[in-house]
A and B are shown apart, each in its own frame.
Chain A
Amino acid sequence: MDFLPTDEQVAMADAVAQMCHRQLRGRPRRVLDPELCTDRDWWALLEEAGVFALRSAENAGGLGLGLVDAVIVFDQLGYFLAPGPLVATHLARLLPDLDNAQGLAYTHLGAVGSASAADAHRMPHIVEHLGSARLIISDGEGLRLVESAEVAEATALNSMDPGTPVHAVAVLPAGRRVAESVAGCRWLRDGTLLTAALQVGIAARATEFARVHAVDRHAFGQQIGTFQAVKHKVADMLVRTEVARCAVHAAASVIDENAEAPHDVGVAQAKLLADAAAVDNSLALIQVQAGMGFTWESDAHLLLKRARVYALNFAGRRECLSIIADSLEDAS
């Protein structure tokens, strides 16, 4: 047993962090620019850092690494609110039937089927990054690919997260099947875990911003971090981050050690805790920054909004809770 990242993993994460720091100037302001999602230089840098080729086989030009390596890298990407779509583009490299030319981005829409809420309420499908990425749809039988050009009527919406453009799509074309159910399940499993890793990064960033504010800001003649009402809130942010990070690393490690093992539970636990850590920490950051936290100028809202995007990607809270509860039933 050795639950710590290896030196190589730490080095790779550092390299990604430095690249993000340089490009995003250490602050997420640049993510306000939706153009970055389609910026060729940015995608080339992600490519160079190995974000997408990380788990592809070495004879296919990949790095041949595992999920543990991937979650450590995605943790950093989440920290810097790196523009995407990151997860689906990474996952697409593992599907042999797809055109994986560099610079080609993929986005994902889950749970499209007869029982989807969108159909039931005649609500349009809300699709992220439709303008800049090819769409992968998961349904009960696997994955389907839809080219952006095939989508007949897509209306650009005013997006909640400035860095995540969204479109409303009334009718989705059938597209073409690119993966059967086994590969589809793996896509959802890995996508859920990588999204959880991004959330851990957001939770860590919120903790860091709150820490800095608690140290720099003075009130009543003292640093506000002196007051337990503030410092204990920040301590709890670190606790949520580290507990969620442990869950993500454990789930990744279990899958790397045995790809066939039942692992949905660990992944569900990781996503549940990471979603909560990212959203709760962003909210706590806004409260710690108080008036400043409510401004557009503060980065706090960017963390909150991205955390809420990721919370809606892949397995959500209720699905994770159901998976965990069912597993408890089986075990007892």
Chain B
Amino acid sequence: VILQDSPAEAQLRREIRQWLASVLPDLPASPPSSDLVARRAFDTAWQQQLWRAGYAAPAWPRQYGGRQATPGEEFVIMEELASAHAPDVGVNFVGLLHAGPTIMTEGSDEQKDRHLQAILSGTHVWCQGFSEPDAGSDLASLRTTATRDGDHYRVSGQKVWTSRAQIADFCELLVRTDQCAPRHRGLTWMILPMDTPGVEIRPLRNLQGDDEFSEVFFDDVIVPAENVVGRENDGWRVAQVTLSFERGTALVSHMIQTRHVVDDVIDAARQARTDSGSAWQDTDVRHTLARIAAELDALWSLAKRNASLAEQGQQIGAGGSILKLRYSEVCQELDVLRLSLIGRAGLTMQNLAAPGELGPVEAALGNLALTIGGGTSNIQRNIIAERLLGLPRDPRP
């Protein structure tokens, strides 16, 4: 159990620190999260900068433009980026963490040539077409249909919770290609260009008031057969590959941002007045925050343990579920404490303490997605119980 950097990790840390110090001061101001077009321009420009400097998708193999970083080195890069307040992955999330690795593992040579570098360099933005109104946690029950017709498919149906569909170039689409097969066996993973006729995007306003995600409708949309990734009807397995990339180092940036939230909460506690002085003198407040901070630090160690497991070539698998489950809950507990301290400033979405920055109310509302997206907490508990502890599976149809 060694926490210190290896010599290679320490060297990498120095390099990236130096690079960040040279580029971050010239970065334009970050546009608001609600302005998707501006966000795309900002996030992809940053991705291009990362790519030129060799820090884009560090874990990708060299042959696909990555630096073949070990999980430990990737951890260092993510840690340094977030600590320096560099932009996070933003609109490039699905491309870099889902579609790219999936195409790398399962795609044809043509698909790799066409898409991998375009994702890495911030040229192509991707969105996800997995969930449907009647297929959320129970993904295998999805009903969007693709019917083979010569050298292409005709796709009809509906997806939902598709983040940033409006500004995406491609969609990783999971469809049913065999109606008769058992539900897990009749699915196919395909690449859909979002400008194909018959694709209709209807923004779906979320509880923050943003149009960040959408419903996407498909009316007889034609997709070339060569866009299938993996084999026809093997899409369930391919989708598992896609989702396995999601819980590796994805939380590292968020965890570092949450440390800054802890500091903000202390400031808020110092400013909040109670009968006996500031709220920071209040034992309840101090003890609640101390417990949350202890858990956040322990979860940070767990993230490192997961990276160490990956470094040994082991699957993080369900270990990622422990981190995702508890971390998302602790974030929400921190938000509850924070909102209790700001009093009537909680009546506005704006950040009164630091105008222009993400405010505590908006952040707390946004964090409600943490226990839902990427597998709900209920599903994470099932995964932990079934795969780590060997408890019986939930009843399935």
Contact = CB atoms under 8 A, between A and B. Distances in A.
Interface of A: 1-6, 9, 68, 207, 211, 214-215, 222-223, 225-226, 228, 231-232, 234-236, 238-239, 242-244, 246-247, 249-250, 252-254, 257, 266, 268-270, 272-273, 318, 320-322, 324-325, 328-329, 331-332
Interface stretch (B166-174, B176-184, B291-299): B291-299
A244 B266 contact: no
15 contacts: A2-B6, A3-B308, A4-B1, A214-B391, A228-B381, A231-B381, A231-B385, A232-B378, A235-B382, A235-B384, A242-B302, A246-B299, A257-B4, A269-B294, A325-B289
Contact of B1 (A3, A214, A329): A3
Contacts of A6: 1
A268 B287 CA distance: 12
A239 B1 contact: no
Nearest to B262: A328
B345 interface: no
Given A1-B75, A325-B286, A250 B3 contact: yes
User: Counting chain B CB atoms within 10 Å of each CB, which of A207, A225, A243, A266 scores highest?
Assistant: A243
A227 to B, nearest CB: 9
B390 A273 contact: no
B263 interface: yes
B304 interface: yes
Q: Is the interface of A mostly helix, strand, loop or mixed?
A: helix
Contact of A231 (B1, B295, B311, B382): B382
Given A228-B381, A269-B298, A223 B392 contact: yes
A66 B391 CA distance: 36
A222 B75 CA distance: 43
Interface residues of B, number: 53
A235 B290 contact: no
Contact of A321 (B3, B263, B286, B384): B286
B311 A2 contact: yes
A89 B383 CA distance: 41
User: Counting chain A CB atoms within 10 Å of each CB, which of B267, B301, B390 scores highest?
Assistant: B301
B301 A332 contact: no
B3 A328 contact: no
B391 A234 contact: yes
B388 A226 contact: no
Contacts of B301: 3, 246-247, 249-250
B309 interface: yes
A116 B382 CA distance: 47
Contacts of A225: 385, 391-392
Given A1-B2, A1-B307, A234-B389, A239 B297 contact: no
The 4 closest A-B pairs by CB, nearest first: A324-B290, A247-B298, A269-B294, A225-B391
